[in-house]
Amino acid sequence: MANEFLSAVILLTLVIDPFGNVPIANAMLTGVAPARKRLVIVRECAIAFAILLAFMFGGKPFLEAMHLSETSLSIAGGVILFMIAIRMVFGHPEGAFGGTSKDGEPFIVPLAIPLIAGPSAMATVMLMASRDPGKIGMWAAAVTVTMVLTTLILALGDRLQRVLGERGMTALERLMGLILTAIAVEMLLGGIRVFVGGLKA
């Protein structure tokens, strides 16, 4: 149980990629006063947290309403994670999640969505809940712990960027991208394995 919880927290942290989001968040909040900046980060993380919980608890009914299988969600989630991981590993001028606005104070978009609660994070929490609904409480706790860590990392973003420097942040993001690539491949292989098994049955 403890191992599953820790694995879920690590997976969600890699998917949300708070360290990779630090330079982007710092750039978006350049003109915001330090005290206000922390409030904005807490607000956006709270919004992202609520969205992820909504997808977690409403994921199964959504899948049933859209006539989607867990296998298709696993494969789609793996593809999305793989695409993001590749951008993290090899770098991209617009960041791992595409372009973001640097003007004004962000509200929901693009900080809460898609930088924190992006498609891959939504797919991941839905997949967790649909695969093992009996452990929904543990998955919700894992999301909570991950979001607390994300909020702390983003709130300390200026200090982290000063301590690690631009190269250090880039190296950390690429390391996380490498781990995320392996997780994405495993999700893809798991979905394909189930699909092929269904064809043989």
CA–CA gap between residue 129 and residue 118 (Å, rounded): 17
What residues make up the domain containing 83? 2-200
Count of domains forming the chain: 1
How would DSSP label each residue in 70-86? HHHHHHHHHHHHHHHHH
Establish whether the linkage from the previous residue to 114 is cis, with ω within 30° of 0: yes
CA–CA gap between residue 165 and residue 141 (Å, rounded): 32
CA–CA gap between residue 120 and residue 201 (Å, rounded): 30
User: What percent of the chain shows pLDDT beyond 90?
Assistant: 25
Model confidence over 141-189: pLDDT tens digits? 999 999 999 999 999 988 887 888 878 877 877 887 787 788 778 878 8
Question: What tokens appear for 93 in the block?
Answer: 């001028």
